[in-house]
Amino acid sequence: MATRWTISSGSKFETLAGYSRAVVDGEFIFVSGTVGYDFKTGAIPDGAEAQTRQALANIAEALDQAGATLKDVVRVRVYLTRREDIVPVSRILGETFSDPRPTNTTVIVTLAEEEMRVELEVTALKR
């Protein structure tokens, strides 16, 4: 029988919306949509590239707490507020994920706060 437990980053959004940063269910890890906030300082950097790097750091922290790494990611969903950010963000993802690469879906959306330019959501499978 699989065990299920959660991980929190302390983000104000987790409390507000009643969700967890990540849910570990057996060998799977589901990481909620993660923006580029530095949860320690509460600041968000300018620009999609810096926000992508911070979001990946936030995701890596959650995965580490679950006993996994970015190498265990099997699916990525990318939410961008601007089409012009597709290539710069994609380059960072291409540098981050190696073979076997995860699946990826990228969509253009409006995010919760004006300064947010990118949100990443991942699923990982512990190996």
pLDDT digits (tens, 9 = 90+) for 80-109: 999 999 999 999 999 999 889 999 999 999
Cα 103 vs. chain centroid, distance in angstroms?
14
Provide the pLDDT confidence category of residue 24 given band limits of 50, 70 and 90. Answer: very high
CA atoms of 56 and 45, how far apart (whole Å): 13
Q: What is the residue-wise DSSP string for 36-76?
A: S-BTTTTB--SSHHHHHHHHHHHHHHHHHHTT--GGGEEEE
Question: How many structural domains compose the chain?
Answer: 1
Mean per-residue pLDDT, 64-72: 97
Return the residue matching tokens 């409390």.
Answer: 15
pLDDT exceeds cutoff 70 at 2: no
Residue 34 sits in which domain range?
4-125
Distance between start and end Cα atoms, the chain: 18
Mean per-residue pLDDT, 110-114: 94
Collapsing DSSP to helix, strand or coil, 11 comes out as coil
pLDDT the model gives residue 92: 98
The CATH number of whichever domain residue 114 belongs to comes to 3.30.1330.40
- The percent of residues above 70 in pLDDT, for the chain, comes to 98
